[in-house]
Amino acid sequence: MKTTRRQFIKISSIGAGSLAAVSTPVMNLVTGMFGDEAPIDDTKAERLPNYCEVCFWNCAGWVYKKPNGDIWKIIGNEDDPHSNGRFCPRGTGGVGMYTDNDRLKKPLLRVKEEGKDDTFKEITWEEAYEIAAKRFTEIGEKYGYESLALFKHGKGGAHFDRLFKAFGSKNSAAPAYAQCKGPREEAFQVTFGHALHSPEPLDIRDTKCLVLIGSHLGENMHNGQVQEMSDAIDKNAAVITVDPRFSTAASKSKFWLPIKPSTDIALLLAWMNVIIEEELYDKKYVEKYTYGFEQLKDHVKSFTPEWAHGITTLAPALIRDAAHEMAAAAPAVIIHPGRHVTWYGDDTQRLRAVAILNALLGSWGRRGGFFIPTKASLPKYPWPKGPKPKWTWRDIKPGVYPLASSGVTNLLLDASLPDCKSKNKIKGWMVAGTNLPQSMPDRKRTEAAIQNIDFLVVVDTMPSDIVSYADLVLPESTYLERYDDIRVAPHREPNIALRVPAMEPRFESRPGSEIAKGIAEKMGLGKFFPYKNYSEVLDFQLQKMGSSLDEMIHLGVKKLKREYDDIFFLDDEDIEFHTNTGKIELYSTELESLGFDPLPKYTEHRKADPYYYHLIYGRAPMHTFSRTANNPLLTDLMDENKVWINPKVAKEWGIVNDQKIWLQNQDGVISDFPIKVRVTERIRWDSVYMVHGFGGTNKKMSSYGRGASDSQMITNVLIDKETGSTGMRGNFVTFLIDEPKREELKS
Ligand SMILES: Nc1nc2c(c(=O)[nH]1)N[C@H]1C(S)=C(S)[C@@H](COP(=O)(O)OP(=O)(O)OC[C@H]3O[C@@H](n4cnc5c(=O)[nH]c(N)nc54)[C@H](O)[C@@H]3O)O[C@H]1N2
Ligand SMILES: Nc1nc2c(c(=O)[nH]1)N[C@H]1C(S)=C(S)[C@@H](COP(=O)(O)OP(=O)(O)OC[C@H]3O[C@@H](n4cnc5c(=O)[nH]c(N)nc54)[C@H](O)[C@@H]3O)O[C@H]1N2
Ligand code: SF4
Ligand SMILES: [Mo]
Say which CATH number the domain at 681 has. Answer: 2.40.40.20
Question: Same structural domain for residues 67 and 201?
Answer: no
Residue 584's Cα: distance from chain center in Å?
Answer: 28
Average pLDDT on 417-437 reads: 97
Return the pLDDT at 309: 98
Ligand nearest to the CA of 341: 1
pLDDT digits (tens, 9 = 90+) for 327-385: 999 999 999 999 999 999 999 999 999 999 999 999 999 999 999 878 888 999 999 99
Average pLDDT on 658-681 reads: 98
How far does the centroid of ligand 4 lie from the alpha carbon of residue 319, in Å?
A: 29
How far does the centroid of ligand 1 lie from the alpha carbon of residue 711, in Å?
A: 14
- 142 CB-contact burial (10 Å; exposed 0-12 / middle 13-18 / buried 19+): exposed
How far does the centroid of ligand 1 lie from the alpha carbon of residue 441, in Å?
A: 16
Contact by Cβ (8 Å): 745, 739: no
Q: Are strands 642-645 and 47-51 parallel, antiparallel or unpaired?
A: unpaired
Domain count within the chain: 4
Looking at 99, 118, 133, the residue that finishes a domain is 99
Question: Same structural domain for residues 312 and 461?
Answer: no
Say which CATH number the domain at 34 has. Answer: 2.20.25.90
Specify the 3-state DSSP secondary structure of 592: helix
Nearest to 223 by CA among 95, 346, 61, 30: 61
Q: Hey, which of 90, 229, 622, 628 would you mutate to test ligand 3's pocket, going by the most ligand atoms within 8 Å of its Cβ?
A: 90
Lowest mean pLDDT among 68-77, 710-719, 734-743: 734-743
Question: Same structural domain for residues 225 and 79?
Answer: no
Ligand 3 pocket, 217 CB below 6 A? Answer: no
Say which CATH number the domain at 161 has. Answer: 3.40.50.740
Instruction: Assess if residue 382 is contained within a domain.
Output: no
Return the pLDDT at 84: 97
pLDDT digits (tens, 9 = 90+) for 170-192: 999 999 999 999 999 999 999 99
Question: Same structural domain for residues 146 and 203?
Answer: no
Task: Evaluate if residue 3 carries a pLDDT over 80.
Answer: no
Give every CB contact of residue 197 below 8 A, 6+ residues apart in sequence: 185, 373, 490
Looking at 99, 119, 150, the residue that finishes a domain is 99
Ligand nearest to the CA of 618: 1
Instruction: Assess if residue 571 is contained within a domain.
Output: no
Return the pLDDT at 32: 42
Instruction: Assess if residue 598 is contained within a domain.
Output: no
Question: Same structural domain for residues 627 and 725?
Answer: yes
Instruction: Assess if residue 502 is contained within a domain.
Output: yes
How far does the centroid of ligand 3 lie from the alpha carbon of residue 342, in Å?
A: 22
Residue nearest to atom 30 of ligand 1 (CA): 214
Q: Hey, which of 75, 223, 484 would you mutate to test ligand 3's pocket, going by the most ligand atoms within 8 Å of its Cβ?
A: 223
Question: Same structural domain for residues 227 and 361?
Answer: yes
Question: Same structural domain for residues 403 and 526?
Answer: yes
Residue nearest to atom 5 of ligand 2 (CA): 439
Instruction: Assess if residue 605 is contained within a domain.
Output: no
Beta bridge partners of 241: 212, 256
Q: Which atom of ligand 1 is nearest to the CA of 621?
A: 1
Question: Same structural domain for residues 234 and 159?
Answer: no
Question: Same structural domain for residues 361 and 424?
Answer: no
Whole-prediction pTM: 0.95
pLDDT digits (tens, 9 = 90+) for 648-667: 999 999 999 999 999 999 99
Task: Give the pLDDT band of residue 102 (cuts 50, 70, 90).
Answer: very high
Say which CATH number the domain at 283 has. Answer: 3.40.228.10
Contact by Cβ (8 Å): 326, 336: no
Beta bridge partners of 679: 645
Q: Hey, which of 59, 625, 631 would you mutate to test ligand 3's pocket, going by the most ligand atoms within 8 Å of its Cβ?
A: 59
Contact by Cβ (8 Å): 90, 54: yes
Contact by Cβ (8 Å): 459, 511: no
Contact by Cβ (8 Å): 723, 348: yes
Residue nearest to atom 7 of ligand 3 (CA): 91
- 225 CB-contact burial (10 Å; exposed 0-12 / middle 13-18 / buried 19+): buried
pLDDT digits (tens, 9 = 90+) for 220-267: 999 999 999 999 999 999 999 999 999 999 999 999 999 999 999 999
Instruction: Assess if residue 387 is contained within a domain.
Output: no
Q: Which domain holds residue 647?
A: 613-746
Question: Same structural domain for residues 404 and 526?
Answer: yes
Task: Evaluate if residue 70 carries a pLDDT over 90.
Answer: yes
Return the pLDDT at 224: 97
Ligand 3 pocket, 103 CB below 6 A? Answer: no
Question: Same structural domain for residues 216 and 289?
Answer: yes
Question: What percent of the chain is predicted at pLDDT more than 90?
Answer: 90
Question: Same structural domain for residues 352 and 429?
Answer: no
pLDDT digits (tens, 9 = 90+) for 624-646: 999 999 999 999 999 999 999 99
Count of other CB atoms within 10 angstroms of residue 592:
15
Ligand nearest to the CA of 55: 3
Instruction: Assess if residue 132 is contained within a domain.
Output: yes
Instruction: Assess if residue 663 is contained within a domain.
Output: yes
Residues flanking ligand 1, CB < 6 Å? 55-56, 180, 213-216, 220-222, 242-245, 247, 259, 261-262, 264, 338-340, 343, 616, 618-619, 621, 623-625, 689, 729
